[in-house]
Chain A
Amino acid sequence: MDHFPTNWGRPNYDSFDTHATYPLHNRGQNQAAAGGVQHTQQPIVTGTSVLAIKFKDGIMMAADNLASYGSLARFKGVQRLHAVGDYTVVGASGDMSDFQYLQHILDGLVISEETTAQDGHALGPAEIHEYLSQVMYSRRSKMNPLWNSLLVGGVKDGDRFLAYVDLLGVTYSASTLATGYGSYIAQPLLRKAVEGREETLTEAEARTILEDALRVLFYRDARSINQYQIATITANGAEISSSLKLETSWGFAEGIRGYGAQTQ
């Protein structure tokens, strides 16, 4: 029985305090008591790698269409690339609900800064990236991060911009970037193909480079699928393709029989 009348009719803490032994003023220190865990501890529905490279006319970014629920391939039609304003695309890996929240505030930002203010200033990729890094770092400092690794890419006034920001507020910029498994598996491939040639790579070549890297990731990342989208941002604006399918070749498996000595 709960001996404190002020608790009658209020949230029930029986899971950790069956006999109402905690005095009133100590209640709510347990996270479960406060109405569920309020600080993000772990990502739940997640997206895997995002890849991006600089090419002659702008930026190209790619991400697959999967949102995993642990090891379950739960949602297969998810778009993880989001256009912000006329000049930028943000790609996200990590927790998809946190990404949806970010999409919501970024859209709100464009509305309030551009559409409403109408002062002739538009938000470019550098501004979006700076805003996101402030948000991500301040959330981490409150011990309640938005559990994402984001790539921000775009072209404004002839300048190509490509940068990374993550749940810790870490930011960096390079001509090839990747998140998640992509940073281990795809990044060496992207660097080899792009470094030194950022001014001469054509759009078709850039597309091939990203597709090949995505294919390797599909072979080697157990939380990926072969359905993806590519975003291309040039001086003409941002364009996100429809879902494409990767061709894969599994013929090498025919020569493999069993493990180790057991080649039945």
Chain B
Amino acid sequence: MAAASVRPHRPDTEMPLYARSNAFLEGKGVKMPKATSTGTTIVGCLFKDGIVLGADTRATAGPIVADKNCEKVPARPTTAQIHYISESIRCCGAGTARTPSFNIELHALSTGRKPRVVTAMTMLKQRLFQHQGQIGAALVLGGVDATGAHLFTIHPHGSTDNSHALQLVVAAISAGIFNDLGSGSNVDACVITASNTEMLRNYVTPNVRVEKERTYGFRRGTTAWTREKVHSLIVSEEVRPVAAEAMDTS
């Protein structure tokens, strides 16, 4: 075609078309939907030796499910929406802006003591107020510190045994998963006691997708090509996953 010789050479590293159009729209002032974990189900339960925290695993961007298995009660400090405050203090919440998770660690170092849940709560409260957060009410902050086990915003169960509290948390999160459109997929739980914190990622998976009936890949050669040029750009490659697990793209 005559036009082909006039077209400028396109580098292989150029942004794909969808990203270019999204960037163009954003430049024009269109707001891109942000994946958040609001509309979520979170639960906390106090038992004799500690607390159990639970959360569902659906992250939504408006009416769309953005991540089917996001981590809402993280094991380590991550950029997830629901936060690791310290080893023995976790916080579940919907749409929290930024947490003072590192502040707590610094505070603990300067006081020389294990951080207290009331400290985390006060810092959170003050930070959220700065952000005019009505989100404060949607937080579940729990942990075990030198003064005992504390849970804020959910009333205590009061049992002596952890498994009953855990069952109650699972039942509550499941009710959210099946009856609330903003929550879904799996149940994550976290059991915090004075001696240790146990992270139970995907503790219950009641929504496993059925096995696909066939493979849907296209055979090589389905699309014909006229010319082939291979540029070897990768000298060496080493994959180090940043997140604890790969995103589910099925």
Contacts and interface: CB of A to CB of B under 8 A. Distances in A.
A246 B161 CA distance: 29
A188 B179 CA distance: 6
B45 to A, nearest CB: 12
A192 B175 contact: yes
Contact of B158 (A188, A192, A255, A260): A255
B155 interface: yes
A261 B121 contact: yes
A187 B179 contact: yes
Contacts of B156: 252, 255
Interface in B120-151: 121-122, 125
Interface in A176-198: 187-189, 191-192
A252 B155 CA distance: 8
A191 B155 contact: no
A188 B41 CA distance: 13
B155 A256 contact: yes
Interface residues of A, number: 10
Interface residues of B, number: 11
Contact of A188 (B118, B122, B152, B178): B178
Contacts of B179: 187-188, 191
Q: Is the interface of A mostly helix, strand, loop or mixed?
A: helix
Nearest to B147: A263
Interface string A221-264: 00000000000000000000000000000001001100011000
A235 to B, nearest CB: 32
Interface string B171-192: 0000100110000000000000
A189 to B, nearest CB: 8
Contacts of B125: 260
Q: Could you say which of B121, B152, B156, B179 has the most chain A C-beta atoms within 10 Å of its C-beta?
A: B179
A256 B179 CA distance: 30
16 contacts: A187-B179, A188-B175, A188-B179, A189-B175, A191-B178, A192-B175, A252-B155, A252-B158, A255-B156, A255-B158, A260-B118, A260-B121, A260-B122, A260-B125, A260-B152, A261-B121
Interface of B: 118, 121-122, 125, 152, 155-156, 158, 175, 178-179
